[in-house]
Structure 1
């Protein structure tokens, strides 16, 4: 299947597909079964420079845009892999690129681009706040040349396979701020050093082989020089990374959707029941065709969001809509694929059940579908805030 919209950035697609061909479905299946981390696969991506796509050229990266980065994520998922193992560096690093000091960029970006450091984690979510980020309770109190951090985070990914983590903490009590979004700041955290100095990491077992953790901060000391951007403006700094995150997740869902459609279409052509291929039945053919149509629409919105982001234009609505459309398309395609494979859809050897579990996550994270609908209702359609 060669949809017209995937002709964009064909050289990148070819490169990622060639690398992914070295890690076939059997590899990812075994990693999933062992609940392990695809270390060899991620290392191959790093060595080839793909995870340094967004880092400026003068800091050792490729200097590409979000559109190109999104194609990398899409093709990993379309090839049967799971970008969730490595996508953090793609969107987390934007906060450092856009708001880090010259000294911070010099200190971190070159080693990250060279594969000597990994920036895969972003600690924002807390147990009692969820997506209500302005209500976070983790605090960072300045004492001399250090900040003292106390609090708790949850659902923080890839901590065990990252050297650095971006942390959002409140530096000014909310009652002293003009708006709830003020008074939060971003810090760069050296994870290994932090674990010797007040950070406790507790893994969370989950239905997807997605490494995620609960974090506890007990008087963790962070050098003041690790403050990224302006104190008190961390939430604003974070938004640029969050828009990128939504678009990159959309691209991954698009890759998943095409994977499911390819598998379902192939199986529907080959599987013969009652003397005819099941794809000849409209009850099978039409749902798959509908999935393809919805995926193509999501694909177009993804590139619309990328174009705006790369032009430094406002893209909150487009980023949210692309994530919504793509997550919906991938989930519908997953349902169709597992349904039309019948019992074989539940067999591990077909990989459908693994990809089914993986793509289900994006109805919930990194922002739920209901929160996106609320955003569009309020900020695009001008209706009253619904929560």
Structure 2
């Protein structure tokens, strides 16, 4: 990954050493019991990997998206999306706080995230807004000393175990704003379950890392928990979007690589009609094509990371990496199940779990259709279609 740079290989080896303590059965058990991988999260925090992108003065390493993508690629290669999602938000989720938080806020919040003492969830998506973030209706009304917030969030990951929430709200109704992106305010505050109802959403895969609907009814949030200026939260949110797409691409590719490795091993070992099935081109060619697509997706991911870390525009590349990485990862997992035949459908070989988990990368954090709209408008200069 990333041209096998020595510093990245060192990161890969260090993360793999932690991941090596958690084998297939651990991840299968987490999935089966819907158990958050607390032990893995704690091990990654203890070895310092949760602070890869955090500033050094707060206990982090102060590194870039290349290094973060290397961490997440290695993690996902071992534990798929369950492992990746348990620490994903630590990589760039708090970036608005790093960039726009006050020195007092950074000192209060960031070291605890680096040490794993706090876990944060992301309250952005809403039932009636979806990808149209400017249409959120969760509202923060200014009162003495802070705000009263009411609304509902959907697909809030890790809200069952998090004690903090990065919460996006409106402070001015959309209809009263000069631009749709105005009037949106970001908070980093306590997730108090005595005041916020957190309702788990049963879902297709990644059962160990919870997704939730969060109901907020007239909850007081102190002014000191507001990130940056009132009304500018949408712009703050953008700081973390391209890095997240790059990380998701790296994770999807890694899961595809893990599935491809299992498929090739099975094709070498499985004998039918007195020959290993891997001798058949009908088995070989689809797997070889998966390898080609994974490599191509990784090259785009590397390019996007290089641009981001060089402070150059990377929106097209980051979105393209997410699209290509998710598709390549999904196809590799699907082909792995097909290569295993009936046993691919059995939990014993773990590939059905990889297929269930990699599907998420095609759905989130942005749809394939919105990515293609972005490329059409921003790269090809075509008129906006929505």
Aligned to 1:268: 267
Q: Distance in 1 between matches of 2:43 and 2:11?
A: 15
TM-score (norm 1): 0.95
Q: Distance in 1 between matches of 2:275 and 2:135?
A: 58
Equivalent runs, 1:148-159 vs 2, <5 Å:
148-159=148-159
What secondary structure does 2:148 align onto?
strand
* Deviating more after overlay: 272-281 vs 152-161: 272-281
Aligned to 2:188: 188
Residues 82-140 of structure 1 show CA distances to partners (whole Å, capped at 9, x for unaligned) of 31122122121112111111111011111222222222x11000001111101101111
Aligned to 1:335: 334
What secondary structure does 2:312 align onto?
coil
Give the 3 Å change call, closer, same or farther, for CA 312–7 of structure 1 in structure 2: closer
Shift >4 Å, 4+ stretches: 3-8
Aligned to 2:220: 221
Q: Distance in 1 between matches of 2:222 and 2:2?
A: 50
Of 203, 207, 214, 2:200 maps to 203
Give the 3 Å change call, closer, same or farther, for CA 321–4 of structure 1 in structure 2: closer
Superposition deviation, residue 80 in structure 1? 3.4
What secondary structure does 1:179 align onto?
coil
Aligned to 1:127: 127
Q: Distance in 1 between matches of 2:364 and 2:58?
A: 31
Q: Distance in 2 between matches of 1:314 and 1:137?
A: 31
Aligned to 1:65: 64
Aligned to 2:89: 88
What secondary structure does 1:84 align onto?
helix
CA contact (8 A) 2:177 2:183 kept: yes
Aligned to 1:137: 137
Gaps of 5+ in 1: none
Superposition deviation, residue 4 in structure 1? 8.3
Q: Distance in 2 between matches of 1:281 and 1:385?
A: 47
Question: Number of aligned pairs?
Answer: 381
Give the 3 Å change call, closer, same or farther, for CA 6–267 of structure 1 in structure 2: farther
CA contact (8 A) 1:317 1:376 kept: yes
Q: Distance in 2 between matches of 1:128 and 1:116?
A: 33
TM-score (norm 2): 0.96
What secondary structure does 1:86 align onto?
helix
Aligned to 2:174: 174
CA contact (8 A) 2:266 2:340 kept: yes
Q: Distance in 2 between matches of 1:309 and 1:164?
A: 28
Superposition deviation, residue 314 in structure 1? 2.0
Superposition deviation, residue 262 in structure 1? 0.8
What secondary structure does 1:189 align onto?
strand
Aligned to 1:351: 350
Q: Distance in 2 between matches of 1:164 and 1:295?
A: 35
